[in-house]
Chains A and B, each alone.
Chain A
Amino acid sequence: MAALHEPGFVFRHRETLLRIAIPILVVVCLVLLWQVLVTATGVPQYILPGPGAVALALVKDWGTLSPALWVTTKITMSALALALVGGVGIAVFLVQSKWIETAFYPIAVILQVTPIVAIAPLILIYAPTTQVALLICAFLVAFFPILSNMVQGLKSVDHNLLNLFDLYGASRWQTLIYLKLPASLPYFMTGLRIGGGLSLIAAVVAEFAAGSAGAGSGLAFRLLEAQYRLNIPRLFAALILLSALGVVIFGITSFIAWLGLHRWHESSIRREN
């Protein structure tokens, strides 16, 4: 009797399933539409290849594309990791005293508002290898959102909690570890998500600027190369790999944010009234 009224698996997870199924359906429809349009209008492949041709290029050129994908991934991830360490470290240093902040924050702002592509040629001159130059560019771009979010977070700690820590004689170190860092976790996560996206963009843009070649080149170079050779299916394949990398980075950073915040922070909690 009871089993009859028990809602089934599909019913209980209806919303989650729809949430996954609908976007997939939309993408599949768009790809089909793309194929249909290409076939119907007969556009030549060197202008707009169909999804089939792109998929073929992805498989056929995997030997050239996969090392490039790996290079871009490595640069983006190391830049992000360095930016996290540097951003958090320098933010902690900046908020130690009013004077330190007054002295150094303007420099940070100037560096931030300067378009990084404009410095790229300089970095290319000074850096020992192109890859190091790309790493520095991606690092610089990802670093500032993390820094400014962290500074903001470290400074917006509840004053009553600070009073409480003072009252119990907390040392500077204890206040940092037990109060300021956890309290700025939501800000850190925002910085992480922005920084993750930006470091990929910067890695690509910087590689365009560098125009490097050879074995150590990343996806952006392969993309340009495919354009010169009018190998448009391969260009699309590189593009797809880049956006896949972006999606993966977004997924990882969102997941980390969820891990860190889901038990206590409003942004990660479903509203229950």
Chain B
Amino acid sequence: MTETDAPLPPASHKRPLVVMRNVSKSFSSGTLALSDMSLTVQGGEFVSLLGPSGCGKSTALRIIAGLGDVSTGEIDWPSSRINSKGLPEGDISFVFQEPTLMPWQTVFGNVYLPLRLAGVSKAAARENIMTSLDMVGLKDFADAYPRELSGGMKMRVSIARALVTKPKLLLMDEPFAALDEITRQKLNDDVLRLWRETGITVIFVTHSVFESAYLSNRIVVMKARPGRVHADFPLSTSLDRGPLYRSSEEYRATCEKVSHSLMEAIGFPLADGMEMH
């Protein structure tokens, strides 16, 4: 297989961005949140982390972001510059389940934050900030305060803030869980578009089989108590994801396969969310 004629993929593609090796994490309360979890994410992937509540998805994501230590095992960011604290510098952005905006700052001020912390002056940052806001369709709301925005718009601000540093890796922890279905689908399409246009790598935590099947090109199903990887599904990337995709045979088959795996992880035939002893 020769690739000489194919367009060169962006430099970050097809190189591991994050490597988790046999990571375990226990909290001081004694909870073993992750046990022996291994996961490698390649540049350019859109990975969904799917699993029952409490299986350690958020914990895994925080470890990938470098927030919080691992108890045993290793976490590595092979393509990033590592700073003195042993953390990757400027390559990772996080979108939390809540918009997590500073209420005393305008939309502009909130999006400026990552650059401000990096010591960039407001004048120098302005263009980047406006580009980010434009990407999420909020250019006209730069001077608004968060309380003047709807839930969906706040989430967009949070995404714009995550994009403003031009990160390689975007981590999203159930970002749209609190939103209504229509807003959620709209934002899903926005995220897909951003992923295609910018070539960013995304790790997306969700509870929803449908959301993960719609968005990702790889679905990692996790199992609870203790949290670990249960199954790992690569999906076709060639398909054009759009409203039509939702009614395609491919989408239906993916949902079925993933649902089945999730049921196994939960401990089928027990009912959804029930604990096994």
Residues of chain A whose beta carbon lies under 8 Å from any beta carbon of chain B = 158, 160-161, 163-170, 174, 178-179, 182-183, 185, 263-266, 269
The A/B interface has a contact count, at CB < 8 Å, of: 57
Known: A161-B102, A164-B94, A174-B117. A169 touches B147 (CB 8 A): no
B interface: dominant SS: loop
Q: Are A182 and B89 in contact (CB under 8 A)?
A: no
Q: Are B145 and A263 in contact (CB under 8 A)?
A: yes
**Which of B12-20, B62-70, B179-187 contacts the other chain?**
B62-70
Bound CA–CA A97/B85 (angstroms):
19
Bound CA–CA A166/B62 (angstroms):
11
Bound CA–CA A183/B104 (angstroms):
8
Q: Does B151 interact with chain A (Cβ within 8 Å)? A: no
Q: Are A168 and B113 in contact (CB under 8 A)?
A: yes
B67 interface neighbour in A166, A185, A265, A269, Cβ under 8 Å? A166
Q: How many residues of B contact A (CB 8 A)?
A: 28
Shortest beta-carbon distance from A215 to chain B in Å: 47
Residues of chain B whose beta carbon lies under 8 Å from any beta carbon of chain A = 62, 65-67, 83, 85, 87, 89-90, 92-94, 96, 98, 100, 102-105, 113-114, 116-118, 145-147, 165
Known: A169-B89, A170-B117, A264-B145. A163 touches B102 (CB 8 A): no
Q: Are A167 and B92 in contact (CB under 8 A)?
A: yes
A interface: dominant SS: helix
Other CB < 8 Å A-B pairs besides A164-B100, A166-B67, A167-B92, 7 of them?
A: A165-B117, A167-B94, A178-B117, A182-B104, A183-B102, A264-B147, A269-B147
Q: Are A158 and B100 in contact (CB under 8 A)?
A: yes
Nearest residue, chain B, Cβ from A266? B147
Bound CA–CA A263/B102 (angstroms):
12
Q: Are A169 and B83 in contact (CB under 8 A)?
A: yes
Q: Which residues of A contact B65 (CB under 8 A)?
A: 167
Bound CA–CA A174/B118 (angstroms):
10
Q: Are B113 and A178 in contact (CB under 8 A)?
A: yes
Known: A168-B113, A169-B117. A160 touches B145 (CB 8 A): no
Bound CA–CA A269/B98 (angstroms):
22
Q: Are A264 and B94 in contact (CB under 8 A)?
A: no
Shortest beta-carbon distance from A273 to chain B in Å: 13
Q: Which residues of A contact B102 (CB under 8 A)?
A: 161, 179, 182-183
Q: Are A167 and B67 in contact (CB under 8 A)?
A: yes
Q: Which residues of A contact B146 (CB under 8 A)?
A: 264
Q: Are B92 and A160 in contact (CB under 8 A)?
A: no
Q: Which residues of B contact A266 (CB under 8 A)?
A: 147
Interchain residue pairs with CB less than 8 A apart (26): A160-B98, A163-B62, A163-B94, A163-B96, A164-B94, A164-B100, A164-B113, A167-B66, A168-B114, A168-B165, A169-B87, A169-B89, A169-B90, A169-B117, A169-B118, A178-B117, A182-B104, A182-B105, A183-B104, A185-B104, A264-B103, A264-B104, A264-B146, A264-B147, A265-B104, A266-B147
Closest 8 CB pairs of A and B: A160-B100, A168-B117, A264-B103, A170-B117, A182-B104, A264-B104, A168-B114, A160-B96
Q: Which residues of A contact B117 (CB under 8 A)?
A: 165, 168-170, 174, 178
Bound CA–CA A264/B147 (angstroms):
7
Q: Which residues of B contact A183 (CB under 8 A)?
A: 102, 104
Q: Are B103 and A168 in contact (CB under 8 A)?
A: no
Q: Are A168 and B118 in contact (CB under 8 A)?
A: yes
Q: Are B67 and A161 in contact (CB under 8 A)?
A: no
Shortest beta-carbon distance from A34 to chain B in Å: 46
Shortest beta-carbon distance from A179 to chain B in Å: 7
Bound CA–CA A170/B87 (angstroms):
13
Shortest beta-carbon distance from B52 to chain A in Å: 22
Nearest residue, chain B, Cβ from A174? B117
Nearest residue, chain B, Cβ from A263? B145
Shortest beta-carbon distance from A225 to chain B in Å: 49
Q: Which residues of A contact B66 (CB under 8 A)?
A: 167
Q: Which residues of B contact A158 (CB under 8 A)?
A: 100
Q: Which residues of A contact B98 (CB under 8 A)?
A: 160
Q: Which residues of B contact A185 (CB under 8 A)?
A: 104
Shortest beta-carbon distance from B273 to chain A in Å: 25
Q: Are B116 and A178 in contact (CB under 8 A)?
A: yes
Shortest beta-carbon distance from B119 to chain A in Å: 9
Nearest residue, chain B, Cβ from A166? B67
Q: Are B100 and A161 in contact (CB under 8 A)?
A: yes
